[in-house]
Structure 1
């Protein structure tokens, strides 16, 4: 299943002044966070350990890693079983912005209140670090609900 795809974002109403990569940043931040927090699927841990090492060492930004390692697509193969359960609950169920995308997009926008849109967030480790505690808190609350 595909949760999201950058190509769904950089067409249509996408801000003309931005590079297409900006359509992937919000997706990349979530996938990178999940991978770095023990929710990676075998695709990343066994199939692309070199790419994972670049992300872990912060030698590459989340969006550049996502574009290269995931071909701009966030799918179930990116995450473990637990990661997919969490992503379905929090990120959304595969309809991109057209679904009830859980709380992730709300949390993302709240983490960057001065950004003109979700596409105007910098692809940087500073942005990642600003967002990460919100996602971590959501994961902890989700795990508690499961018992």
Structure 2
């Protein structure tokens, strides 16, 4: 039976380094290998993730190969349940553009493409007034430009948030939904909805054009997910 999730840890003096390898299956011929690295202590964990796309069988091979490479460096397998006992910091980084363009990023694209997917989600956040009052006040002009479709969400992400999207900028009411929907370890937004709605026959999800037409396609999908989430709580 093929494995699609492996947790590896390596003890240090005051913490454990960990590598969490996970395959996210998609409806296309490219699965996503999530490589989440960080540190574990009794009270918190840090996370830094990169994503790589492979055909399904190759994704499994890459996961197993990476596991062996890390074990050769002193890492050992542990049950994933140990992560559940760790308190996650209140402020969570949901995405960083550099995670993408410093990772396995298509050479035929500029760095601007690393902002597109999260930029579209940020557009939904802006249109529904889910940023904190501080962000609303500080970037009032830019937020109004996004609402009037004079500024793309990707550009707002780059210009106003410096390519870092975290729960710190969000109203308390929306954080539970965003944490679930953009969860690094189970990314529903990018790995499922964004890919299935917009990628089509494009080489990667990075090749999706940053257009209002594409935003109009993904917006109702996000909204439906939100309404489903609200119906459960």
**TM-score, normalised via structure 2 length:** 0.57
Distance in structure 1 (CA, Å) of the matches to 2:173 and 2:204: 30
Q: Which residue of 2 aligns with 1:141?
A: 228
Provide the aligned length of Structure 1 versus Structure 2. Answer: 140
Contact between 1:40 and 1:79, CA under 8 Å: does it hold in 2? Answer: yes
Structure 1 stretches lacking a partner, 5+ long: none
Q: Which residue of 2 aligns with 1:114?
A: 201
* Deviation of 1:77 (Å): 2.5
- Aligned pair partner of 1:85 in 161, 172, 176: 176
Distance in structure 2 (CA, Å) of the matches to 1:19 and 1:9: 11
In the TM superposition, 1:1-147 aligns within 5 A as: 1-92=92-183, 95=184, 99-101=185-187, 103-105=188-190, 106-112=192-198, 113-146=200-233
Contact between 2:115 and 2:155, CA under 8 Å: does it hold in 1? Answer: no
Q: Which residue of 1 aligns with 2:35?
A: none
Higher strand fraction (1 or 2): 2
Distance in structure 1 (CA, Å) of the matches to 2:153 and 2:202: 18
Instruction: Give per-residue Cα distances to partners, 1:52-103, cap 9 Å, x unaligned.
Output: 11111110112112111111111113321122111001111xx4xxx222x1
**RMSD between aligned residues:** 1.3
Instruction: Give per-residue Cα distances to partners, 1:117-147, cap 9 Å, x unaligned.
Output: 110111111111110000000000000001x
* Deviation of 1:42 (Å): 2.1
Contact between 2:116 and 2:206, CA under 8 Å: does it hold in 1? Answer: yes
Distance in structure 2 (CA, Å) of the matches to 1:11 and 1:25: 15
Q: Does the C-alpha gap of structure 1 residues 12 and 89 become closer, same or farther in structure 2, counting only changes over 3 Å?
A: closer
Tell which has more relative contact order, 1 or 2 (C-alpha 8 A, sep 6+): 1
**TM-score, normalised via structure 1 length:** 0.89
